[in-house]
Every structure is written in C-alpha cells, then in structure tokens.
Structure 1
Amino acid sequence: MAEIHPSALVDPKAELADSVKVGPFCIVGPNVKLGENVELLSHVVVEGWTTIGNNNKIFPFASVGHCPQDLKYNGEQSRLEIGENNTIREHVTINPGTEGGGMLTKIGNNCLIMVGAHVGHDCQIGNNVILVNNATLAGHVTIEDWAIIGGLSAVHQFCRIGKHAMIGGMSGIENDVIPYGSVTGNRARLAGLNIVGLKRRSFDREVIHSMRTAYRLLFAQEGTMAERVEDVQKMFNNVEPVMEIVKFIRQESSRGVCTPK
C-alpha cells in the first residue's frame, strides 16, 4: 500500500505502486501512473496523462505534467513519460506533448534535472542527461544520451543536442550541436570537442585522437560541408564516435548545425 501523507491529495483513479511515497501537500491527478519506489517529497504536483517509472525522486515545488505552454494546445490527451532512476529537483517544470509534436514528451533513465530547469512540450531526452540549474528547453528539443546542459542555458525549439555534448553555462543554443561537441556563448558557437567528458567516460586515447583529427577536417575552410563529411567518412569509417558525428550532420534538421567561431 502506497504511503500517502494525510495532507496530500491523490485522486482515487491514479495508479500508484505499493512502494510509492507521497509527501505533504502533494497533488496527484487521476491519469497519473507512479512506478515502484517513486518518492514525491512535498508540494509536488503531478497532473495530466503522466507515467513515471521506478525509482524516481521528485523534490518540492516541481510541476510535472501540467498542460503545455503552447497556444495551439486545446486539451488533447497528450502524454508525458519519465523513465527510471531520475532525480527531479526543486521548481522543475516538465510539460507533456502536443498534437504538433507527436503528443509525447519523453525522458529516459538516470537523468539529473536540477533546480528550476524547464522541459518544454514534445522534448525527447535520452539517458544519463544532466540539466543544470535553470536550464530551459523549448518545445520539440532532442537531447541525446550523456549530454550536459549548463546552468542558465536556453535551447531553441527543434534543436538537437548530440550524445556526450557539453553546453556551457549561460549559452543560447540556436543550432544543432554535434555529438561530443562543446559549445558556449550568447548565441553559442562550437568551441571544440568535449574532451573532458570523453576522458571521464574512459574513451580510448586513440579514439579521441581520431575524433580530434576528424573534427579539424569537418570544420576546415576548404570545400563544402558535404565534401568534408564524405572525406571524413572514408577516412574514419571504423571509428564509431566519428561515424556518429557524420550521421548526425547528415540527418535532416530545421535548425542547421552549430559551427566553430
């Protein structure tokens, strides 16, 4: 039987696993599903058609699943899905999807969403992602695995952030960021590869060397981007991280790829 504080308001239609803990003054709506060992500490509101997986911990004054900040939203039964083992800190806001974005906002596993961060409608967030304090994602943003979004940063709608990318604090992201890339600045520009992150995650030294060489070739002045991508693919077709960057650049994008200063 779920442990529910007397001051909490949990709709009888909500589905709560037996090991759920709902703290003081929390509100849980009728279409919410909470998995095993989910803990709402206090003053947490979970609404909408929201599913939260096992072992998530949500801190005070977070707002999860309330209707999107989109004037086109008309009450559709769009969804929010949150995976397992995530930490969602104080004052975080996470919105469900909209009809224009597939009706789904999705967050993976093992993410840390820090104080005051915002996840807009139709965002797709992978695993092991960190959103530092007051990082904000507009609608339709894609964040791949292991990316870090620095504090007070803002990501424009429809942008893609590649896996293992590092977004410096107080950056404004208007373009896609390649996997393993590092960007910073007001209207951020690519500053190189996220070498610190690669070393922390035990990437092989030779692989990092190949990635550095590929990076210099991709963003050289000679030729077109399409030509440079083709050359890099031929030279490094056995280096998986380089091929991930090549694939990312070739994918269709409405925002274009962030380039160096």
Structure 2
Amino acid sequence: MSISPLARVASNSVVEPGVVLGAHVNIGPFCVISAGVVIGEGTTVGSHSVINGLTTIGRDNTIGQYTSIGEVNQDLKYANEPTTVVIGDRNQISQKATIHRGTIQGQGMTLIGDDNRLLSGVHIGHDCVVGNGTLMGDNSGLAGHVVLGDGAQVGFLCAIHQFCVIGAHSLITDQSGVVQDIPPFVIAHGNHAGPTGIDVNAQAFLALDTRQQDFVHSLYSMLYQQSLSIDEVKVAVKSALGDFSIAAIFDQFFARSARGIIR
C-alpha cells in the first residue's frame, strides 16, 4: 500500500493493501478501494463508491457517490483475466455511474480520456474508448467496444449499440437509440437515430474558419443529400487532407467505422 500522507480516507472506508493514493486524494465514507487501484493527486471519491480491479485514475477527478469503477464486465466470455480501466485527468463522474473493465477479446482496457462529464447513472461498457471533452447525459449508456470521439455529446436516456463509432464533436439528442456509426459534427436523433444536420453550435465547429466549415457542410451533403457511396466520400476526404486540416478527423472516423453510418 502507498498512501500519501496528504491523502484523506474516511475512517469507515476500506482501502486494501496494494492501493496507491496520491497527494490530496479524498476518499469519502463507506467506500471500498481494492488492491491494484491507483488514484492520482487531487481526485475526490464520493461516499459509498466501489473502485476495484486494475484501475488507474488520474489527477483532479471528481467521482460521485454510489459509483462503481473497474467492476467485472458483462461479457459472458470474461474469465477474470487481468484487464483494466484507465481514466485520465479532470473528469467529472457523477453519482451512480458504472464503468466496467475491458476484455482480452477487446483491447484489454476500458479507456476514458480527460475533461469528460459523465452525469448521473451513466454506464460505460467494457473496452469502450472515450476521448476528451465529451458529455454524457443522465442514464445514458455505451455498450461494449464503443468509441466516443473528442467533444461528442450524448443526451439523457440514450443507448449506444456495441461496436459503434461516435464521431468527434457529434451530437446525439435525448432518448435516442444508436445502432450505426455517426460521422463527426453530425446531429443524430431518434430510435433508430438518423441524421438531422450539422451541429453548427459545437465549439470545435465555431473555431473553424469559414472555408473549413464549408468543407464539413460539403461532406454532409455528399453523405446525405447527394447519395454518394461511402467509398466515394472516403476518396473525397483523402484528397482533401492536404487542403483542410479538419479532413483528418473524418479520415480517422472512416478508418474506424465498421457498422456503416446512420442514414
């Protein structure tokens, strides 16, 4: 066990031997922190939370009460292999969130980046990859192997099918069910979710110059108004890489996309 003398642990919480707690970590009442867990400096864990498995949590995170991180996943093939959860810095994880460890059939890791907001009751399934600066609303869930791109926003009561790729800076509206991939900057709505336009209010879109914004609109038109094939759109994206920096986000999306895109 390695607990910084500047860490604070409630007297009625259980911290097993082998746990590493950085400076200014605050573990609230009635928590269980299992052997193998590493929690970085400045992170706060709310009461009645359980963090187990080979879980590594970075700096300055806020973890709400009744949260479960690193628990055995719901994949029936899982046989207690030493898979992990890795969480970055400055994330806000609200109460009753659940984040499951990876599987060896996946990448062996559930990965969450930096500066994300996961609201009450959010579920992150095994082998998911959550980027940076995302937002997930109350009681929304990612099934296994989902990729949630940087800056993507998921409304409340949304369900994302396993293996879906959610493009960077896309927006999924409340109570939507997603069963295919969503390109970057696209708004998706409904069950099953379909495209309703470009999120022109996304911070990343507003940061683009007019020429780059027009390029994003042109790709949306190719996908949803001109009835071009995905392969034709991929060629257009490749050819634009030298002229439009934003094209790289779409190129990365298409390289990962395997379920087909929403229509």
TM normalised by structure 2 equals: 0.92
Cα drift, residue 190 of structure 1: 1.4
CA distance in 2, matches of 1:49, 1:199: 34
Q: Which residue does the alignment assign to 1:69? A: 74
Q: How does 1:60-209 map to 2 (within 5 A)?
A: 60-198=65-203, 201-209=206-214
Distance 1:215 1:103, change over 3 A: same
Q: Using the alignment, how far apart are the partners of 2:126 and 2:54 within structure 1?
A: 13
Kindly state the Cα deviation for residue 257 of structure 1 after the two structures are TM-superposed.
1.3
Secondary structure at the counterpart of residue 99 of structure 1: coil
Greater alpha carbon shift after TM alignment, 13-22 vs 52-61: 13-22
What stretches of structure 1 of length at least 5 have no aligned partner? none
Partner of 1:42: 47
For each residue in 1:40-99, what CA deviation from the matched residue of structure 2 results, as whole angstroms up to 9, or x when unmatched?
121111011100001111111001111001111111111000000001100000001011
State the secondary structure of the residue aligned to 2:202. helix
Q: How many Å separate the matches in 2 of 1:33 and 1:199?
A: 33
- Give the conservation status (yes or no) of the 8 Å contact 2:198–2:217: yes
Determine the C-alpha separation between the residues in 2 that align with 1:92 and 1:38: 16
Once the two structures are TM-superposed, the CA of residue 204 in structure 1 deviates from its matched residue by 2.1
Task: Tell me how many residue pairs correspond in the alignment.
Answer: 258
Percent identity at matched positions?
A: 34
Q: Residues 10 and 163 (structure 1 numbering): CA distance in 2 closer, same or farther, change over 3 Å?
A: same
Aligned-pair RMSD on alpha carbons? 1.8
Q: Could you say which residue in structure 2 is the equivalent of 1:212?
A: 217
Q: Which residue of 2 aligns with 1:254?
A: 258
Moved more, 15-24 or 48-57: 15-24
Q: Kindly state the Cα deviation for residue 191 of structure 1 after the two structures are TM-superposed.
A: 1.3
Q: Is the 8 A contact 2:200 2:206 kept in 1?
A: no
The normalised TM-score by structure 1 is 0.92
